[in-house]
């Protein structure tokens, strides 16, 4: 990957994809362990409080974030909707073992035809999952998440700037790194202009976009990945 002298930081307040954190991709959640964990207080089938588990401590999060977020109960799951410049982001949380701790299982972007956000808006509107199947999957690449594909040809979808890690990328299986940020990336050449350095560290390949953003590809050596394995959608 080629080098540049810029990173993705624009020192704005932005959220998961362009609202309340100091990076261009966003990301407002903290994490604990290999997955971000959450707890919801639910009364009369309504979410009344939200907490994130970090370092073993439950920390409260905003229920509505000034009217931009809403939570609903859908069976045993909780669904969060958040208004974005391009439309709505829908995140589903599930408590598979019934212990009261929820994990994100999927996300989906619903793009408004009258969206006024930066760039051209996201292109992928299908559900993107946080775990894999034995087939071809869309896998969400998020900070603090155990990101691993299955045996199929998986698309690893990047939508935030953070220190990100993919554990089983395989070009031979047809895996792709897909940048669908909705913030105006136009090409692989455009993306490469933000790369500040790329190198191998033991068994891993690491690409840095400034000091605050990186992608680590576990077990990837020279010749195992190239720009043909990268797709830039938005």
Residue 202 lies in a domain: yes
Instruction: Decide if 195 contacts 209 (C-beta within 8 A).
Output: yes
105, 97 contact by CB (below 8 A): no
Closest Cα to residue 99, out of 34, 40, 31, 32? Answer: 40
Query: Within a domain: residue 62?
Result: yes
- Considering its fold, how many domains does the chain have in total? 1
Residue 179 DSSP class: E
Q: Is residue 174 part of a domain?
A: yes
Q: What is the pLDDT of residues 58-87, one digit of tens each?
A: 999 999 999 999 999 999 999 999 998 888
Query: CB under 8 Å to 38, separation ≥6 — which residues?
Result: 50, 51, 52, 53, 61, 93, 101, 102, 103, 104
Print the domain residue range for 77: 37-232
Q: What does each of the 234 residues of the chain score in pLDDT, given as a tens digit?
A: 433 333 333 332 233 333 323 333 333 333 334 789 999 999 999 999 999 998 889 999 999 999 999 999 999 999 999 998 888 999 999 999 999 999 999 999 998 876 655 556 788 999 999 998 888 999 999 987 879 988 889 999 999 888 999 999 999 999 999 999 877 889 999 999 999 999 999 999 999 999 999 999 999 988 899 999 999 998
Query: Does residue 15 sit within a domain?
Result: no
Distance CA 70, CA 176 (A): 33
- Beta strands at 204-208 and 214-217: parallel, antiparallel or unpaired: antiparallel
State the chain's mean pLDDT as an integer: 83
Quick: pLDDT tens for 91-104: 999 999 999 999 99
Model confidence, pTM: 0.78
- Decide if 18 is inside a domain: no
Judge whether 23 lies within some domain: no
């Amino acid at each position: 990957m080629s080098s540049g002298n810029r990173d993705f930081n624009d020192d704005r307040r932005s959220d998961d994809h362009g609202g309340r954190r100091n990076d261009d991709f966003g990301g407002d959640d903290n994490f604990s362990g290999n997955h971000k964990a959450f707890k919801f207080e639910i009364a009369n089938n309504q979410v009344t409080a939200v907490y994130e588990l970090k370092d073993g401590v439950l920390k409260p999060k905003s229920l509505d974030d000034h009217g931009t977020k809403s939570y609903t109960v859908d069976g045993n799951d909780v669904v969060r909707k958040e208004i974005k410049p391009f439309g709505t982001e829908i995140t589903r949380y599930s408590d598979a073992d019934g212990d009261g701790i929820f994990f994100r299982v999927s996300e989906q972007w619903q793009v408004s035809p009258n969206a006024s956000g930066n760039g051209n808006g996201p292109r992928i509107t299908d559900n993107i999952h946080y775990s894999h199947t034995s087939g071809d999957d869309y896998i969400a690449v998020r900070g603090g998440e155990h990101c691993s594909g299955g045996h199929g040809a998986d698309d690893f979808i990047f939508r935030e700037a953070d220190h990100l890690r993919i554990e089983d990328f395989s070009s031979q299986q047809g895996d792709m790194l897909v940048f669908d940020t909705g913030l105006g990336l136009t090409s692989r050449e455009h993306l490469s202009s933000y790369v500040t350095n790329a190198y191998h560290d033991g068994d891993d390949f690491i690409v840095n976009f400034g000091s605050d953003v990186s992608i680590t590809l576990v077990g990837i050596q020279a010749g195992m990945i190239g720009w043909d394995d990268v797709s830039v959608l938005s």
